[in-house]
């Protein structure tokens, strides 16, 4: 079985953008699992994604209010075809990120995972820690900050492996 993933973060709707782009909604419709790594800002987007995504996994971020925190929390964990995925909004600065994430989510952690999806920086990130933990930050589709364009990530899980991780530009 093949599972298509869409990774999102830092949508900031409606503060930084009025809405998520049509291109992103098309990717939501094509995905089997949508993962959002926080900073939704308004609960309306959570409701809309829950109504549209086949399966939604999400966490709250530092710009999210109490209602989002009550529904989502700080960390989410899911097993997709044998790939253990954790989601968190913040991982701290880029310096030392691999070490910190290995300690908290890597193979020696109490509840280890294979992939950690995170957000916060609006800067895409794809690396693998010395312990083998894959770190993915999709950037932001709506608030590019210092990036040339907004971004999301797509990926495929097949046969217990994550592959085909692709950074997708989301120009307005």
pLDDT at 78 over 90: yes
pLDDT score recorded for residue 171: 85
pLDDT score recorded for residue 15: 83
Report which of 79, 96, 171 is spatially closest to residue 135, judged by C-alpha positions: 96
pLDDT score recorded for residue 167: 98
CB 12 within 8 A of CB 63: yes
pLDDT score recorded for residue 73: 96
Which residues are within 8 A (CB) of 33 and not within 5 positions of it... i.e. 6 or more apart? 3, 4, 5, 6, 53, 54, 55, 56, 57, 78, 80
Is residue 92 very low, low, confident or very high in pLDDT (cuts 50, 70, 90)? Answer: very high
Fold of 2-169: Purple Acid Phosphatase; chain A, domain 2 (3.60.21)
Average pLDDT over residues 39-54: 96
Average pLDDT over residues 70-75: 97
Average pLDDT over residues 5-9: 98
pLDDT score recorded for residue 146: 85
Backbone CA torsion sign across 13, 16, 17, 21: negative
Domain residues of the chain, as ranges? 2-169
- Measured CA to CA, the distance from residue 109 to residue 104 in angstroms comes to 6
How does pLDDT run across 127-171, given as a tens digit for each residue? 999 999 999 999 999 998 888 999 999 999 999 999 999 999 998
pLDDT score recorded for residue 17: 80
Average pLDDT of the residues of the chain: 95
pLDDT score recorded for residue 16: 76
pLDDT score recorded for residue 124: 97
Entry pTM: 0.96
* Class of residue 170 by CB neighbours under 10 A (exposed 0-12, middle 13-18, buried 19+): buried
pLDDT score recorded for residue 145: 85
Find how far residue 88's CA is from the centre of its chain.
8
């Amino acid at each position: 079985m093949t599972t298509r993933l869409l990774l999102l973060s830092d949508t900031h709707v409606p503060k930084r953008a009025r809405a998520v782009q049509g291109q992103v909604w098309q990717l939501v419709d094509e995905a089997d699992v949508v993962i959002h790594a926080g900073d939704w800002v308004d609960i309306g987007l959570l409701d809309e994604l829950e109504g549209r995504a086949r399966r939604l996994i999400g966490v709250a971020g530092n710009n999210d209010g109490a209602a989002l925190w009550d529904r989502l929390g700080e960390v989410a964990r899911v097993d997709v075809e044998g790939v253990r995925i954790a989601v968190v909004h913040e991982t701290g600065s880029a310096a030392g990120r691999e070490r910190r994430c290995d300690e908290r989510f890597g193979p020696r952690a109490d509840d280890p995972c294979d992939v950690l999806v995170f957000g916060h920086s609006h800067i895409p990130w794809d690396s693998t820690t010395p312990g083998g933990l894959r770190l993915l930050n999709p950037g932001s589709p709506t608030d590019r900050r210092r990036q040339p364009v907004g971004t999301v990530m797509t990926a495929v899980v097949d046969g217990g492996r994550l592959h085909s991780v692709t950074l997708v530009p989301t120009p307005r």
